[in-house]
Amino acid sequence: MLSNAARLLMVSAAASLVALGAAPAEACQDIADEALALAAAQTPLASGASLFTLIQKNIWQVNNTDLSLLWGSSSPSSAFYYDNAVDLIDTTGTDPGDDFTPVTGVADIAPGDVLVIDATGNYSGHTAIVTGVPQPITAINPKISGYTQWALPIVDSTTSVHGCSTVFPDGRFVASTPGSCTGTFRGGVGTAFMRIYADATGALTGHTWSVTSGGTFYAQSGTTYPVRSFVIARVQSCPLL
């Protein structure tokens, strides 16, 4: 049985694999680039969380043992990644915040950041990889007073299409006729857009699954709107802007 000291050394060694897998200035872009490559290959994966896990394996050459040391699980769920990102849990023997650093302002979001929606009683959560900077948009329904709206380019793995917008499309959806919301959708890894909301300070306040007027607004907290808390976070080897 490993001593606490030996376990700590193993955790530190595994963490170093992530930290040294790419130079800090390149690490986040490496995550985005690998996500886009997997989308182009139409990689079949069961969930967004498994997508982020596969990306780590591909770009840092880590295995299941390394992942268990880094995250406490070899196959973390979205809820597990969320709890790490907001420091509700943390790998034993490491300092809080050394796995993920939350990005609190919309202006600070960058390619390679990870968007994680927490699980609720009837929802398992979701994980997506940010592939570009948020794009400010003219507000469309649902409009929330005092909040700005932003289209966020992502790669994820899902069986639920991110709307049928021709401006902010889901690359897995093929309309039956141009501009139509009927057509075929290919599940798995692909490109898409989600919509995020921010207050006057730039703090993230909510999201919708798609950049369409029919999307449901989910708030970060409160009782006025349905709540699905999310966090956008940066892995430890990526520098804050």
Q: What is the pLDDT of residue 67?
A: 86
Judged by average pLDDT, the poorest of 83-97, 115-129, 200-214, 223-237 is 83-97
Reported as a single tens digit per residue, the pLDDT across 56-85 is 999 988 899 988 888 888 999 999 899 888
Q: Give dist(CA 215, CA 202) in Å, integer.
A: 21
Tell me the pLDDT tens digit for each residue of 110-133: 999 999 999 998 999 999 999 999
Please choose, from the candidates 103, 52, 107, 89, the residue with its C-alpha nearest in 3D space to the C-alpha of residue 239. 103
Adjacent-strand bridge partners of 185: 173
Percent of the chain residues past pLDDT 90, beyond the cut: 67
Q: Does residue 126 contact residue 117 with C-beta atoms inside 8 Å? A: yes
Q: Which of 137, 126, 131 is nearest to 195 (CA)?
A: 137
Nearest partner of 126 among 186, 175, 89, 85, judged by Cα: 85
Highest average pLDDT, of 150-154, 173-177, 212-216, comes from 150-154
pLDDT in tens, 14-64: 444 444 344 444 668 999 999 999 999 999 999 999 999 999 999 988 899
